[in-house]
Structure 1
Amino acid sequence: MRNAGLGSWPARRAAMSPTRTALIFEERHTTYAELHDRASRLATALRAAGVRPGDRVAYLGPNHPSFAETMFATWMLGAIFVPLNFRLTPPEIEYQLRHSGAVALIHARPVAAPVTIKIDIAGYESRLREPAEFDEPVTLDDVACILYTSGTTGHPKGAVLTHGNLVWNCYNLLVCVDVAGDEVTLLSAPLFHVAALNQCLLPTFLKGGASVIMPGWDVDGCFDAIERHGVTWMFGVSTMFAGLCRSPRWPDADLSSVRCLMTGGAAVPEALIRTYQERGLAFCQGYGMTETAPGATFLEARESRDHVGSAGLPVFFTDVRCVRPDLSPAPPGEPGEVLVRGPNVTPGYWNDPAAIAAAFTDGDWFRSGDLAVVGPDGHYRIVDRTKDMYISGGENVYPAEVEAAIFEHPGVAEAAVVGVPDEKWGEVGRAFVVPAAGATLTPADIPAHLTGRLAKFKIPVYVDVVSDLPRTGSGKVRKGPLRDLPPPNPTRR
C-alpha cells in the first residue's frame, strides 16, 4: 500500500480479523470488516463532495461509531482529521473551524460552520456511497490530525500530530500496557480528547480488540457497560473514578473482568488510588499532553502499588528531562520543567509559527510548561505548572482566555483568574475582578456574562470583586498571592 498511515489500518485489520468485534455502541456490534466497509463508503461520499488530500475534515458530536468512521475515512483520503470539543460554545467552535480551514464537518448539532460540506449524523446513513478502494500516498510524516488546546493568548492552538506521532505513541503504550487481542476497552472519556483517542481507541484497534463506546460519562452506565460487556481496560480522569467509588453500587459492582485502569490529565489523590487497589485493581497513572500524542511517562501495573501517586518513568521510545531554567538538570527532589523529545512529539502548531518557536528549546526538546520532581529512582511526580493553566474535570483551562472574555463586560476594568483546589473537579476557576470606574459589579454578574461565551467548565466557580490586584515591580499581576487567599464562597456549583 502507498498509504503508510493510519488510513490503511481498517483494510489491514479487516483482512486479519474480519469477524472480530471492533466497536460496541449500545447493543450494536460492528465487526472490523463492517467498519472497513462503512469507513470506505463515507470516504467515497466525502471524495465525491470534494474532499482532497490535505483537506481538513472536522467532527462535532458526542462519542459515537461515526467518530471512528469519519476519522478513518478522512485518513483513507489522505486528509486531516479535526475532532472538536462539542462542549464549546458556537463562537469557540466557529473559530476552530475557521482557523483549521476545515472544508467538511460531520456534526450532531447545528452550527453556523464556515465549511462547504456538512453532514448531519442524523442523516448520516443516507450519505454513505458504494465503497471504493483508496490508496493515497501517505507517509508517517504527513499530518493526521489537528487537536485544539486552550491558548494562553485567548485563542486555542491547533496541535499538529502526524501519522508517525500516533503510531509511535501506540508503540509506547503497548510497551507499557499489556494490551491483548481480546481486550474490551471502555471509551467513556470524550474521543475528541487525546487520551481517549490515542491511548485507548487506536491501541485497541491495532491489537484487534473491541472498543465499547459510551455517548457520555455516566456512573451507572459505566457499571452497566463493565458488567454487560466484560470490560477489561478503561481510561478516566480523577472525577470519573471518584464518582464510581462514591456510588452506592460500588461495594457490590462486578469488576472481575477489569485488568487495568488508566488515568492522566491531572494528579489523582493517593487515597482514591488506594480505594481501587483495595479492590485488587491495577491503577496506573501517566503523564503527557496533547503535543506528545499524549504519552510521556507511565507507571506500569507491576509498579503501581509501590509508587502510588507517581506518574511513572519515561515511555520506551521517548526521552524526558527535568531541568532548571538554564536547562541544566534538576537534581532529584528539586522541581524542574519537564522537557520531552521523541517521535511522538508534535512538529508544531497549525498556522502558528510564534507558538512553534516558543514551544521548543535546546534543539528539538518540547517545553511542557509543567514542573515535576524526579526521585532517586527516576520516577516523575508532577507538582505544579509553570504556566497558569489548570485542569478542571480533565479539561484544560487557560486563564488568559477566561480573562479576555471577562474583560468584555463593560463594567470590568481588570480581571485575573487562577485555579483553586476542588474536591469534585480537581480544580476550578477563581476570578478576581476590578470594577470599572463608576460601575457596580456583583460576583453573580460574571458567570451570567460568561454563559454562552465560554464552555461551562471554563466559567469560574468563585468570583471576588476587588479594588486592586497585586503586582510586580514591572506592573504585572502577581497570581501567587491570589492563589494563597482563604477559600471563598462559590457563586455557582
Structure 2
Amino acid sequence: MEYHDGERLSHLGDVPEMGAYRYGDRTAFRTSYGQEITYEGLEERSKKVANALIAEGVEPGDRVGLFVPNTLQFPPAYFGAVKAGGVAVPINLRMDPDSMVYVVDNAEVDVMIASDKVPGGSAEDIAAEADVSTVMLPGGSDDAPDGVDVVDYDGVVEEASAELDRPEREFDDVAVQPYTSGTTGDPKGVLLTHENLLTTIESYSSGGLPIDPDDSILLILPLFHIYGLNALMGSFLYVGGSMVMQGVPNPTLMLNAIEDNELTAFAGVPAMYNMMFREYEKNPDDYDVSSLDYAICAAAPLAEDTVEKIETEWNVSVAEGWGMTETGPAGCVEPPRGVQKEAGCVGAPVPNLEIKLVHPENRDEVRVAPEDLEPAGMAKGTLDFDDEDSVTGEIAVRGPQIFEGYFKLPRKNDAVFDDEGWFYTEDIARVDSDGYLWMVDRADDMIIAGGENIYPAEVENGLYEHPDVAEAAVVAAPHEIKGEAPVAFVVLEEGVEEGVDITEEGLREFSLEHTARYAHPRRIFFVDELPRSATQKVQRYKLEDKAEDRVDGALESSEEL
C-alpha cells in the first residue's frame, strides 16, 4: 500500500492524511441530516483528537476505549486514538453492561472517548466499575461518579492544535484491539497491528471489493465490528469513496438513504436485507434503489430466495464473503461482478492471503493446499470434487492480515497457531472446481442472529443464574428476519413444576437481566433430559432438529422481547 510520495504506508493513522492529500475537499462521511466531513476535515479533526488525548496523558501503547456509535464522532476519534500512539478499543454497544465492564477492564483502557448518543448505557458508570480514570464526553458531565474525571470532549478537541508531532509506532505494533466472544462466553481481545489492518484494506481495495472513487455506501454495519470498521470504512477511505453514516437499521430509513443519496453500494447482514426487502415489497413504487450497483452480505449466509428476489427485482448483484475479527477481516469474497454462485458461496481468497483446508480432527492432514486454490492449481486437476469429504476441511489462514494473538490468553494462542504461522479458524468449508469456498459449519456452535455472534455458553450461563434451572442447552432455530436466533432447552430442578413455579415467559424475562438483549432465547422448551453422547456431551444437532420442529417453520419477530 503506497503513500502519496511512493513510500509504503506503515501507520494506520496516516490513512486520513493520505486521503486529505489525494482527495482533498471530497466528502468522506455524511449523514442523512446534511452534516458531513471531508477528507481534509477528517485529517484535521483526527490530529486535534490525537493532541487532546496526548494532553490527557495517553502514551504509545495505551488503550483508548471508543464508546461511540455510527456517528460523525467515530472516524476522527478512532484515527485520533491511533495517531496519538494509542491502541483503539471499539466497544460493542449492544453488549450488556456487565460485558462492557469486562471488556474495558480486561483491555486495560486508560482513557475512554464516549458519545452522548448511546441509549441505555452510561460510559461514566462503566468507566467507574472498570477503574478508568478519564472519560471524554461531549458537553462533559455534572454528575460524574467518584474517581472518574469527565472531560468535555468537544471543548478539548476544539482547543487542541491541528499540528501533530505524531508518536512513532512500528509496523508490527498493535493499533486496534476489538473484542470477540469466546466459547466460554468471555469476550477475547484481538490484537491487530498496523500491518494487519493496512494489508487487509489493501486486499479488499485492490480486488477483494469492486470499490472506486465514485462509489458511495451506507455505513450501517456497526463500526465496533471489524467488517464495518476496516473492510468497509478503511477500504472506502483508501480509494476515495463516500460513506453515509447511519446507526439504526430501520428498513425505511435504509431504503430512503439509498434513494436520497443515490448510493452505489450496500453492505449488511441477512437481517437487514430481510427487513429492507419486506418493506420494499409492501410499496415498491415508494422506493428507488436503481442507483445500486452491488450489494455485499456479511456475517452469515443470505437465504437463496432473498438473493434471487434482490437480484431480480433490484437488478443488483449480491456477493457473500467470509472473514473474522482475527483476520482483520480478510478472508474470502464472491466478486459481485465476477463468477456468480448460489447463496452460501463465500467466494475465493482475497489477494495476499493463503488459505488451506485441513482434516477437522487432524490438522497435519492437508486436504486442500494453498496452491490448489490458485488458478494454476485448480487447472492441475489434483482434487476430486466428486468426493466432497476430500475437499472439505477446517479453514487455516496465513498472511500479513492475521492477528498477533489474543490479549492475555497465551494458551488460546498456542491452540490456534502452529509454528509456521498458520491460524486455525475452527470454521469448516469445502472448495468447488472454481476455487470458491462454501461454508459448511461454524465454530463452536456459534449462532449468528442478525449479524450478531452469539455463543450458546453465554446464554446458558445466564439461565443457570436462575435457581430453578438444573440444565440448559442453547441452539439455533430459524428466524424470519434474523436468519436464526437462539432457543433454549431447559431441565428444571427436581420438584420444580412448570406452569406453577416457573413459566417460559418468566424465565425469558429473567434471561434479559443476565445476557445481551440480542442474545436472549426467543423460545424456551422444558424437557426431562438433554440428549447426550457416550462421553456425556450434549448432542446439539438433535436439539436443533427438535427446535426446528417445535417452532414449526421459523421464529417470528413477535417472539422478541
TM-score normalised by L of structure 2: 0.84
Contact 1:462 1:488 in 2 (8 A): no
Q: Which moved more, 1:205-214 or 1:378-387?
A: 378-387
What is the match of residue 465 of structure 1? 526
Structure 1, unaligned runs of 5 or more:
none
Secondary structure of 2:466's match? coil
Question: 1:372–1:251: structure 2 CA closer, same or farther, 3 Å change rule?
Answer: farther
Which of the residues 20, 35, 55 maps onto 1:48? 55
What code does the residue aligned with 1:100 have?
A: A
1:169 CA drift (Å): 0.9
TM-aligned CA distance change 1:51 to 1:362, over 3 Å: closer
Q: Answer whether contact 1:265 1:391 (CA < 8 A) is retained.
A: yes
Letter in 1 for 2:94: R
Residues 103-142 of structure 1 mapped to structure 2, 5 A cutoff: 103-108=110-115, 109-111=121-123, 112=125, 113=127, 114=130, 115-123=132-140, 124-128=153-157, 129-131=159-161, 132-142=163-173
Unaligned residue ranges in structure 2 (runs of 5+):
1-6, 116-120, 141-152, 368-383
Residue 450 of structure 1 contacts residue 459 of structure 1 at CA under 8 Å; is this kept in 2? yes
Structure 1 residues 386 and 49, CA, compared in 2 at 3 Å: closer, same or farther?
Answer: closer
Residue 336 of structure 2 corresponds to 301
Distance 1:137 1:187, change over 3 A: same
Aligned-pair distance for 1:306?
4.6
Listed one character per residue, the Cα deviations across residues 414-446 of structure 1 (whole Å, up to 9, x for unaligned) are: 211111222211111111111123334322232
Instruction: Indicate yes or no: 2:145 matched with 1:78.
Output: no
Amino acid aligned to 2:155:
S
- What amino acid is aligned across from residue 41 of structure 2 in structure 1? E
Q: Answer yes or no: is the 8 Å Cα contact 1:393–1:426 preserved in 2.
A: yes
State the 1:2 CA deviation: 11
- By how many angstroms is 1:82 displaced? 0.7
Does residue 224 (structure 1) correspond to residue 256 (structure 2)? The answer is yes
Among 550, 555, 558, the residue aligned to 1:488: 550
Q: Percent identity?
A: 33
Matched to 1:458, the amino acid is A
CA distance in 2, matches of 1:260, 1:16: 25
Map of 1:16 onto structure 2: 22
Distance 1:271 1:304 in 2: 19
Give the CA deviation at 1:154: 2.4
Q: What's the counterpart of residue 292 of structure 2?
A: 258
Which letter does structure 1 place at the counterpart of 2:293?
A: R
Q: Does 1:477 align with 2:538?
A: yes
Using the alignment, how far apart are the partners of 1:176 and 1:130 within structure 2? 38
Is 1:148 aligned to residue 184 of structure 2? no
Change (3 A) 1:146 1:270: same
Matched residues, number? 493
- Alignment of structure 1 residues 48-67 onto 2, 5 Å: 48-67=55-74
Q: Which of 275, 294, 297 in structure 1 is aligned with 2:309? A: 275
For the Cα contact (< 8 Å) 1:189–1:216, is it kept in 2? no
> 1:3/1:98 Cα in 2 relative to 1: closer, same or farther (>3 Å)?
farther
Aligned-partner Cα distance in 2 for 1:475–1:237: 35
How far is 1:456 from its partner?
1.0
Q: Is the 8 A contact 2:320 2:333 kept in 1?
A: yes
Specify the SS of the correspondent of 1:73. helix
Corresponding residue to 2:403 among 346, 351, 374: 346
Q: How does 1:190-209 map to 2 (within 5 A)?
A: 190-209=222-241
Q: Distance in 2 between matches of 1:369 and 1:270?
A: 25
Kindly state the Cα deviation for residue 386 of structure 1 after the two structures are TM-superposed: 4.4
1:384-395 alignment runs, 5 A limit: 384-395=441-452
Backbone CA RMSD of aligned residues: 2.0
Shift of 1:51: 0.9
Task: Give 1:392 deviation, angstroms.
Answer: 0.5
Distance 2:354 2:545 in 1: 35
Contact kept? 1:263, 1:285, Cα under 8 Å: yes
- SS of aligned partner of 2:550: coil
User: What TM-score does the superposition give when structure 1 sets the normalisation length?
Assistant: 0.95
- Rounded to whole Å, the distance in 1 between the matches of 2:358 and 2:286 is 46
In the other structure, the counterpart of 1:173 is 204
372-381 vs 116-125, greater mean Cα deviation: 116-125
Q: What is the DSSP-based 3-state SS (H/G/I as helix, E as strand, rest coil) of the residue aligned with 1:44?
A: helix
Offset of 1:360 from its aligned partner?
Answer: 2.0
Q: Say whether the 8 Å CA contact 1:434–1:467 is kept in structure 2.
A: yes
Give the Å deviation of 1:251. 5.0
In structure 2, the partner of 1:285 is 320
- Aligned counterparts of 1:303 and 1:270: Cα–Cα separation in 2: 18
Aligned equivalents of 2:61, 2:112: Cα separation in 1 = 15
Q: Distance in 1 between matches of 2:443 and 2:137?
A: 41
The amino acid of 1:118's aligned partner reads V
> Contact between 2:210 and 2:336, CA under 8 Å: does it hold in 1?
no
Q: Structure 2: how far apart are the matches of 1:210 and 1:51? A: 31
Residue 144 of structure 2 aligns with which residue?
none
The Cα shift of 1:373 comes to 1.9
Distance 1:3 1:209 in 2: 19
Find 2:393's aligned residue among 336, 348, 360. 336
